[in-house]
Structure 1
Amino acid sequence: MQYLDLKSLLLVFFLLPLLSGCGLIAAGGMAAGVGTGIAMSQDRRTSGMFVEDESIEFRSGQRISEKFSSNVHVNVTSFNRNVLLTGEAPSETIKEEIGDLVSNVENVRHVTNEITVGSPSSFTSRGNDTLITSLVKGHFMDSGRFQANHVKVVTEEGIVYLLGLVKGEEAENAEELAKRVDGVKKVVKVFEYME
C-alpha cells in the first residue's frame, strides 16, 4: 500500500510542472479575455460592432492572402465597419483590386485605400512602425486629454493613421500629439465624427 502511495506521489511530482503550465495557459487565456472585455467596455462601438470589425479584418485578410499570396504586404484595420488598407502592392492595378475585394466583404461600409505601390517593407521598417505606434499611444495616455482607446493608431512607413469614433476636439488633440512623436512623417485622420 505504501508503494502505491509513493508511486502516486512521484507521478504527481513529475506531472506538476506540466499541469501548472496548463494552469498558466488557462490563466493567460482568461486574462486575455478579461483584457478584451475591458477594452470593449470602454469602446464607443457596441460589442457587436467590435466583433464585426474583427470579423471584417479576418475575412478581408483571408481573401487578400488567397488571391495575392505573398506578392503583397497589406494591413487591414476596421473601425465601425470603416476599413483602412495600408501596406504595399506591386502595381496600381493590384492596389485597386485589393480595394475592390475588401469593399465587397460583407458589412464593410467604406474603404480608405492607402496602400502604396512598391516592394514590401522590410522587417526593420515594420519594427520602427510598431515603435512609433507605441509612442503615439503613450503620448495619448500621458496627455489625459481623451480616452486613449477611443483612437486606434496604425503606422506604415512612418505615416500615422488615426481611426476612431471621436469628437472634433479629440481628433485635433490626437493629431497634435501624434505629430510630436519622433519619426512621424505625416498624420492622416481617418476618423468618424460623433458631432
Structure 2
Amino acid sequence: MKLTLSCRLLASLLLAANLAGCAAPLVIGGAAVGGMMAVDRRTTGTQVEDEGIELRATNRIFGDHGDKVHINVTSYNRQVLLTGEVPNEQVRDAVQKTVSQVANVRSIVNELAVMPNTPITQRSNDTFITGKMRASLLDAKDLTATAFKVVTERGVIYLMGIVSQREAARATSIARGVTGVRKVVRVFEYVSEDDLARMNTGSRAPVTDTNPDSAPAK
C-alpha cells in the first residue's frame, strides 16, 4: 500500500530521532533499523561493525568529556563522521584520536565545531530537517532512500552512503531544496553505475574500498 507524504514524514522523523537524539548531550548517529539490513548496500557484517563503532566511540568520548561536549558519532562502511560542538581545538583533536583507536575504524571525517553546545531548540530543528530530507528521498522515484544516511547539525545536512555520481548529485540537489538547510556536505563513497546495478540485483561482492569524496563538498 502506498504511503502518504505525512506517513512517510512521520516514519522519517522516527528514523531521525535515532540520528539526532536531541535529549542527550552525546548521541549515537546511526542506529540500525531491523529490516533495513536486507536492503542496505553494506554487507551485514559491516553494518554490525558500524553499530559497534558508534557504541564504543560514544562511550569512550562520554567517559572522557561527559556533558562538556555535544558530539554525534555516525559510522557508515567504517568511515566515521564526527559532528557537534567542543570547547576548544585540543578537545577536538583528542576526540578524533580517541575515535581513531576504536576497532574497525577505517577513516574519520572530523566536522566538530569549536563553539558552545547547541540548545535543545536547535537540535530539535535539526531532527525535523533530517525528517524532511528522509521524506524527500522516499518521494524521489529515481533514488533508493535506504542507500543514504542523513545527519543534520546546526542546519547543515551531511549525506553518507555508497552511491553513484548520479545519485550523489540528485540527493545533493534534493537536500539543497529542503527548507532550513544552510549547507550540504557530502561524505559519499562512489561506485560505478555497473557496480550499482549488480548491488541492486544482489550479485555483488562486499563493498569495502570504494572511492570516497576527497573532501566534504558544499
Taking structure 2 as the reference length, what is the TM-score of the superposition?
A: 0.72
Instruction: Give 2:100's aligned residue.
Output: 103
Q: Distance in 1 between matches of 2:51 and 2:177?
A: 30
What SS does structure 2 have at the residue aligned with 1:65? helix
* Of 118, 122, 129, the match for 1:121: 118
* Of 42, 55, 65, the match for 2:62: 65
Taking structure 1 as the reference length, what is the TM-score of the superposition?
A: 0.81
The Cα shift of 1:39 comes to 0.3
Q: Distance in 1 between matches of 2:140 and 2:33?
A: 23
The Cα shift of 1:191 comes to 0.5
Instruction: Give 1:10's aligned residue.
Output: none
Q: Which residues of structure 1 form unaligned runs of 5+?
A: 1-34
Instruction: Give 1:142's aligned residue.
Output: 139
The Cα shift of 1:93 comes to 1.0
Q: Distance in 1 between matches of 2:190 and 2:100?
A: 21
Are 1:155 and 2:117 matched, yes or no?
no
What SS does structure 2 have at the residue aligned with 1:161? strand
Instruction: Give 2:87's aligned residue.
Output: 90
* Of 164, 167, 178, the match for 2:164: 167
Specify which structure has the higher proportion of helix. Answer: 1
Identity %: 46
1:68-79 maps to which residues of 2 (within 5 A)? Answer: 68-79=65-76
Instruction: Give 1:26's aligned residue.
Output: none
CA distances 1:122-176 after superposition (whole Å, capped 9, x unpaired): 1100000000000011111111121101000000000000001111111111100
In structure 1, what residue type is equivalent to 2:166?
Answer: E
Q: Which residues of structure 2 form unaligned runs of 5+?
A: 1-31, 193-218
Q: Distance in 2 between matches of 1:127 and 1:58?
A: 22
The Cα shift of 1:38 comes to 2.1
* Of 180, 185, 192, the match for 2:182: 185
Instruction: Give 2:50's aligned residue.
Output: 53
Q: Which has the higher contact order (CA 8 A, sep 6+)?
A: 2
What SS does structure 1 have at the residue aligned with 2:33? helix
What SS does structure 2 have at the residue aligned with 1:76? strand
The Cα shift of 1:36 comes to 3.5
